[in-house]
Structure 1
Amino acid sequence: MTAVPPSPRPRRPGPRSRLGPHGGQAGHLVGAYGLLALTVLLCLIFSLTLPSTFPTSDTVDSILSTQSIPAVLALAAMVPIVTGAFDLSIGYGLGLAHVMVLYLVVDGEWPWPLACLAVTAGGLVVGVLNGVIVEFGRIDSFIATLGTGSMMYAVTGWITDGGRIVPGPQGLPAAFTDLYNSTFLGLPVPAFYVLALAVALWLVLERLPLGRYLYVVGSNPRAADLVGISVRKYTVCAFAASGLIVGFAGVLLAAQQQIGNPSVGLDYLLPAFVGALLGSTAIKPGRPNALGTLVAVAVLAVGLTGIAQMGAEFWTVPLFYGGTLLLAVGLAGYSARRRVRTGVFAARDASAGTSSEPPSAPTRDGDSAGGAP
C-alpha cells in the first residue's frame, strides 16, 4: 500500500510579504529620498514665509559659501564611520590646520602653495597616526581620537601662544584668499570643491573594491577577517582619508577667516557629525554615503538659514544641532536595522522559492520523503 505524504503546512507570510512589493518599494523610496524631499519642502515653506529675503540669489550664494567647510568636514567624518569608527579629532585638526597655514605664510614667509600642500600632507599623517592608535593600540576610537584631538589643541595653543595670527599691513596673497572668495560660473568656488569631493568619495565607496572592503569592515569585522580583508589596513586608510580631507578643510578655513583663531575649529565638530550621521539615512539608508551626507548638509543649511532670517535667538543654533543629532542617531540606527531585516527577508524568500509546494525533505539516503516505498 502506497504511503500518502502529509499535506504541506502553509508558510506564514513574513513582514515583507504582508507589505507586498509595492509597499516595500514605497518604503524604500521614502527612506532614500525623504530627506531630499524635506529639503525642497523647507525651501518652499521659507520662501512663502520670507518672500523678500529667502528666495534670492544672495541667500543661495550665502548657503553655498558658508556651508562649504561644514560640508567638507562632514564628508571627512563620514569616511571613518563607514568602517564603524568615529574621529572626534576632526574639529581640533581643523583648528590646527588653518592656524598652521597662516603661521607658515605670515610668520614663516612660505609661499602659500607650499604651505597649503604641507598642511594637507600633515593632515594625512595625523589621520594615519589616529588609525594606528585605534587599530594597533586597541583603543576605542572615541577615546583615542578625543585624546589626539586634545593634543592637537595643545599644539595649536603653543603655536599661537594663546593669541591670534594676524597678517601684516600687506595682508595675505590675493591668490590664496581667492581659494575661498572667488566665483565660478556665477557660484562660489567652495561649492565646487564640495561637489568634486563628494563625487570622488562616491566613486571610491560605490564603484571601487576599496569602498566595498570599507563597508564590509564596518558591517562585520569578523567576517572581513575570515574572507581575507585586513580590518587594520582599511581602518587606517579610512582615518588617513579623513585626515587628508580635514587638512584641505583647514586650508579653506584659513582662506576664509584670514586670521588664525586657535579655538574656531571646535565650532565645526557638532555640525560635521550631524551631517555625517543624518546622511546615513538618505540615498543609501542604513549606511553612511557621500551623496546622503550632501543632502543632510543641505537640510541643515536651509533650516539654519531660514531660522536666522526669521530672527531667532543665538541659542537656537546649538539647540537645532543637538536635536538634529539625536534625531540623526535614532534614524541611522533604525535605517540600519531595517536594512538588515530587509536582507534577511529577501534571503529567506529566495531560499523558499516562489512555488506554493515546498521541496521535499531529504532522508539520510538522499531519497525524497513521501516517495513510494
Structure 2
Amino acid sequence: MAGGTRTVSGKRRDQLLTVSVGLFQDRGFHNVSMDDIAGAVGLTGPAVYRHFANKQAILSAALTGQLAAVADVVAAAREVRPETEQWDALTRALGHLVFESPNAHLWRRERRHLVGEGAEEFRNRMRDALAGTEAIVATRRPDLASAERGVLSWAVLSVFSAAGTGRYALDEQQQEAELRAMLDAVVAIELRPTGSAKHELAVRIPAGRRERIIEAATELFAVEGYYAVSIEQVAERSGNALATVYQHFASKTDLLYAVVKRGAEGAQFVLAHRLTTEHDGDDLSLLVDAHCDLALGPHGRLLGIVAADRIYLPVEQRREIYRIEEEYGEEWIRALRAVRPDMSLAVARLRVQAALTVVAELVQIARVRDRADIDAELRAISRAILLGAD
C-alpha cells in the first residue's frame, strides 16, 4: 500500500509540474499563483503544499528538470562508440526532446527568477550540459581550442531551445531534420581570430528626464528583471524625484511597455536605415550585420528585456509587441528566401526565429559577449543557422 501511495503522489507531483510549466510559459512566473496551479489540476491551494513548499520550489523543480533532460541526452550520447558517432547521436536525441517536451525552452526566460539552492542546482545542471556538449563538439571539431568549443556549445543548446518555441507547420520528422541541419552548420563554422581589440561602449547619460528614466529602467530591468525592480529604484538611478517619474509614466507597467516597445521598434528602425542607405542587393547579409551590431551595441540589453519581460505586459500591449516582431521577422524571411528560393516558408520561419533567438541569448552570456572576436563569431553563427554550412 505504501508503495502505491508513493506512486500516486509521484504522479500528482508530475502533473503539478506539467501544469505549472504551461502556466509559467503562458503568463510568466510572477503572474501565476499557487491557487492558479491548484485550480488547474482540481486541487485546493493547501493540497499543493503537500508536494511543494512554495512556488519557487515548483519553478526550481521544473527548470532543473528541463536541464536535467538535456544533460541526460548529452550524457547518453557521450557513451556512444565509436566517438565519431556521438555528434549524430546528440542531434537525434535533441530533435526528439523538442517534441517530447514542448516547453523545454522555458528555462531561457524564467531562470533569472531562481534563488538560493534552486539557482545553484540549476547552474550545476547547466555546467553539466555544457561540459558534455563541449566534449561531443570536440569529437567533431578537434581543431578548436576549448574557448571556441565553449562558444559553439552555447550556440548548440540555444539553437535547440529556440527550435521548441513553435511548430512552424512542420511535422516532427521535418522539424527534427531542420534542427539537425542547423546544428551541423553551427558546429562546422570557422572561428578565425581577428586580432582586433574589443570595442568598449561609452557610458552616456541622456540629457532629457524621460530619456534618463528609460535608460535607468533599461539598465535595471536587464540586470535584475522587471519584477525585482521598484519604481523608486528607477527614480534614484535616473536622478529624478519619484513624482517626476510618475509625470512621464503612470505605472511601472507603462515604463516596461516604453522600454519593450523601444526594443522592438528600434530593430525595425535599424533595419530600415541599413536597407535604405547600404542596399547592395544582399539584403540578408545587411540584416545579419545590422542585427548583430544592435545586439552587441548599447541597446543590446533591450533584446533580453523584450524576450524575458514582455510577458508581464497587458494583453493588448503584448499583442502589439508581437505584431512588431512578426513584421521584423517577415523582412528576414523575405531576404532569406530571396537567397534560398527553394526553402519553404515554414522552414524559413523556423530558421529566422532560431537565428534571432540565438543572437539574443548569446549576448546575454557575459563570457560569450566579452570575447574579442564575438562580432565575427555572432555573424558566422547567424549565417550558419539561416543558410547552412558554407
More helix by share: 2
Q: Same fold (TM over 0.5)?
A: no
RCO (CA 8 Å, sep 6+): is it higher in 1 or 2?
1
Q: Kindly name which structure, 1 or 2, has the bigger radius of gyration based on alpha carbons.
A: 1
Q: TM-score, normalised by structure 2?
A: 0.24
Q: TM-score, normalised by structure 1?
A: 0.25
